[in-house]
Structure 1
């Protein structure tokens, strides 16, 4: 075992460990792809994997869908807040759009990774389900007036394994409500297995390099990522940008949804502010964004406008301040407004609106 108490790692070891963690995320991804039973996962690849630090900062998300992943830290924080007795061998299911998840159809499997008694990481595997218990046989209920009409089973970071053993009551309850119980159970086990693979590999990495080296690496990598973002922001001109758009009208929403994004780029302080607070209030249908998708959408639009070599993690996110309002259609949803379609429709438009706002800065 190699261990070091140095406050800063050399660049070679930092690069080795960063690529090792990315490799672990890709192994999670391959596990999910090869073992899931439903076509929405094993063919459409509507899933993402990530590693979050023990202090709830997004650390690695190779190959993940931005709308799934950029808000993962919100979910792991809820896990830690709700379970002061969190322990090695636990696994949690989280699909609550009112406490950090994207929408109810995305089931996130979260495994806290302990080494020598300390919680260093959380492995997260998130996958869209073929059925999530909605009142109608669809996972996208755009017409649902609220979460009750939507009808999905909601699990706000519920423990599904304790000491590596299944909590059978949760499984039994879900199988009674899911329309394709055997297919769902296959996807359920694929999600757990994907997160457990990461747990095993991260523990091996900690054992090889020592926990102090890993702690130093976490800090160093996030600080390095922040510095890369500082450089990227300082390469941009100072600007105040604004962009407007609209979601199409629908039978239950004849006026559509007006949308807007405001951006301020301050190269001197190396911060970007993205403000969604002036968007309209929640609508009485399933098109509302969740906090996770509202944040992820504008971050995706931003990172699409930067060089691809800026790491996408909590370090670079430190330089972006996203301003949201509770009760806004593009913001933090006010319960019980439905977020059934939070990952597409309005989110797609907010990604494009944000990217188009940055395009006003000019070519390149």
Structure 2
């Protein structure tokens, strides 16, 4: 082959790879849209707490569209491997229900449907997987987050290990009956199951059509090229960092089963020359009698999330190719490692996972100036709790997770914290509920939702402030709110000189208007006339607050996000005039003098 023909072939191959990559992402998006538009529970059709991915026949993550990172980076590959282990012969029309945290899934509440894409010759070409967080999964309490579960038996969820729920495109009615009998909102679950099934069948149909259109060999070559390209992009991104090694510490608040909290040690090593990063989580305590233990999928994924966040390079595709440049070291029976049955992993996607992701991105900030991030605010205040009760209008039971007010975004070297980040694991992809929609769907009244002044992590780029919200049941309804809040004691820490975010908090408003402070993990019973006040955790700041642009500080002051006192004392901003008469302005000379004293 001549030099000219080689030169022509390389760009052509790259163009073909880009086109097929977009086709794959498009298929994943079709799966996403199918699930979003047809799901029945609010946690899916409002909050968007689900993910859809495509994997190769070798169980390597290929495409994920806008899926939640904690659902998709690591875990789908392990789950597909278990499908192949338990079902060596796969056929068209098969579908498997899998939610075992001991075999790749995140936690029992995330029901996964896995379909092998089998061609006309009976060869498995791909897998498609849809993971949907359930409103109820059969736990012993009406919540999918059992933070106080002493073990999996106390947790109580139905757990399926690559169970064949369809053969020849027909449902296994035995499994359907099990779910309908155990899950409190069985009709809602049935609708969500059909929505998830529709998503994977759409993915299967589209991949079969694509294989017929361009050929399976072409798709196999594409996957190999895409992984190689992604690995190279990751190696390049790591090579721009300085080499170094650091150990950082974090801690989850005290909780039922862990009265002293859970300390977390994260050791991060960057080898820029080799283009590799290692995260060591082995120096941590054993699994605890609590629902906070991480599943293997969540432990590996949470470390990966911190790395992708800290690189600040969105051109690196998150797939099995770029994963090759990262090693996450875990050990068995570790609270942030590989759990042993019967340790409960009920809250594995959120609380302790964030106590791994955030320190990883903060560690990157310590090693590499201009990289990494501060810590994201901790998760799961009452406004992100699971509500349940009986609707006085219909007489029917309801169970659903709400997303009424959670913020937490961390400051970065280039931007302020994303206001509705929620937590590192969903990367801001879950959505805050509409007040009107929640009130329409459930017998609750939302009294207020507002940002809390002076709760942002101060910095050159500040963290997101806290959100305060208040809600309760309508007349004639008794409601239970179960939540598992972290960050009431240990705030989200800043990076590179940035300050911590505000703490999470919760109160019960009694009928007489008095307030009672609530613990971090609680099942709260509310009667008509009572309400719960939820305060989410603010995100940490990045960089010295006194290097923040005076204009940016003034904008936060004007919006009411910070007070005059905080603007002066923390950010070194002096002002003149008054907000009342519209003369408020920056005093440039006084600001320079204030900052010179720092």
Taking structure 1 as the reference length, what is the TM-score of the superposition? Answer: 0.96
Alignment match of 1:122 (pick from 127, 149, 155): 127
Write out aligned runs for 1:184-195 (5 A).
184-195=189-200
Write out aligned runs for 1:242-253 (5 A).
242-253=247-258
Q: Does 1:227 align with 2:232?
A: yes
Larger radius of gyration: 2
Distance, in Å, in 2 between the alignment partners of 1:135 and 1:52 is 34
Where 1:284 maps in the other structure, the secondary structure is coil
> Do the aligned partners of 2:34 and 2:199 also contact (CA within 8 Å) in 1?
yes
Segments of 5+ residues of structure 2 without an aligned counterpart are 1-8, 372-598
Instruction: Report the count of equivalent residues.
Output: 359
- State the 1:263 CA deviation: 1.0
Q: Which has the higher helix share?
A: 1
Cα distance per residue 1:41-60 (max 9 Å; x no partner): 00011101111111010111
> Which structure ranks higher in relative contact order (CA pairs < 8 Å, sequence separation ≥ 6)?
1
- Alignment-derived partner of residue 296 in structure 1: 301
Write out aligned runs for 1:276-291 (5 A).
276-291=281-296
- Alignment-derived partner of residue 363 in structure 2: 357
> Do the aligned partners of 1:260 and 1:279 also contact (CA within 8 Å) in 2?
yes
- Alignment-derived partner of residue 70 in structure 2: 67
Taking structure 2 as the reference length, what is the TM-score of the superposition? Answer: 0.59
Q: Does 1:154 align with 2:162?
A: no
> Do the aligned partners of 1:67 and 1:296 also contact (CA within 8 Å) in 2?
yes
- Alignment-derived partner of residue 522 in structure 2: none
Where 2:236 maps in the other structure, the secondary structure is helix
Segments of 5+ residues of structure 1 without an aligned counterpart are 1-5
- State the 1:62 CA deviation: 1.3
- State the 1:251 CA deviation: 4.3
Alignment match of 1:100 (pick from 101, 104, 109): 104
> Do the aligned partners of 2:257 and 2:288 also contact (CA within 8 Å) in 1?
no
Alignment match of 1:24 (pick from 27, 32, 42): 27
Q: Does 1:323 align with 2:329?
A: yes
Cα distance per residue 1:82-115 (max 9 Å; x no partner): 1112111100011000011000000001111122
Q: Does 1:340 align with 2:346?
A: yes
- State the 1:252 CA deviation: 3.5
> Do the aligned partners of 1:289 and 1:339 also contact (CA within 8 Å) in 2?
yes
Where 2:47 maps in the other structure, the secondary structure is coil
- Alignment-derived partner of residue 270 in structure 1: 275
> Do the aligned partners of 1:9 and 1:220 also contact (CA within 8 Å) in 2?
no
- Alignment-derived partner of residue 18 in structure 2: 15
> Do the aligned partners of 1:115 and 1:211 also contact (CA within 8 Å) in 2?
no
Cα distance per residue 1:160-198 (max 9 Å; x no partner): 001111111110111110101100000011111101101
RMSD, aligned CA: 1.3
Q: Does 1:196 align with 2:201?
A: yes
- Farther off after superposition, 115-124 or 171-180: 115-124
Distance, in Å, in 1 between the alignment partners of 2:369 and 2:317 is 23
Write out aligned runs for 1:39-54 (5 A).
39-54=42-57
- Alignment-derived partner of residue 259 in structure 2: 254
Where 2:102 maps in the other structure, the secondary structure is coil
Q: Does 1:215 align with 2:220?
A: yes
> Do the aligned partners of 2:150 and 2:257 also contact (CA within 8 Å) in 1?
no
- State the 1:17 CA deviation: 0.1
Where 1:20 maps in the other structure, the secondary structure is helix
> Do the aligned partners of 2:100 and 2:108 also contact (CA within 8 Å) in 1?
yes
- Alignment-derived partner of residue 3 in structure 1: none
Distance, in Å, in 2 between the alignment partners of 1:119 and 1:8 is 30
Where 1:98 maps in the other structure, the secondary structure is helix
- State the 1:9 CA deviation: 6.8
- State the 1:29 CA deviation: 0.6
